[in-house]
Amino acid sequence: MRIRIKQFRPHVLNDALRVAVELEKYNRAEKQLIESRSYLRQASQTEEKESHVDRNENSDHIALTELMSKMEQRVQELQNDIRE
């Protein structure tokens, strides 16, 4: 609906004002919708969960490091192939 309103080309000042008011109405409604949403966030974790998260982050970090080193090697190989 908003796209149709933005694509509308008013020929008279009254039409332009009507379109502007309608767009403002949509913007305010969306803003109220976003502000009315509530979010929950966990404030604390148990030690068991924290250690589990730390282990997962550590293994993810190791896997990412290995992937990066493989990518660096592959880039080096490609650069050497281009030079030859």
Write down the pLDDT at residue 72.
93
pLDDT in tens, 14-54: 888 888 888 888 888 888 877 777 666 666 656 555 555 56
Q: Report the pLDDT value the prediction gives residue 14, as an integer from 0 to 100.
A: 87
**Of the candidate ranges 1-10, 40-49, 51-60, 74-83, the one whose mean pLDDT is the lowest:** 40-49
The two three-digit tokens of residue 61, written as one number = 């970090």
SS3 for 84?
Answer: coil
Q: Residue 56: its pLDDT value, please? A: 66
Alpha-carbon distance of 55 to 48, in angstroms, equals: 11
Per-residue pLDDT band for 55 (boundaries 50, 70, 90) equals low
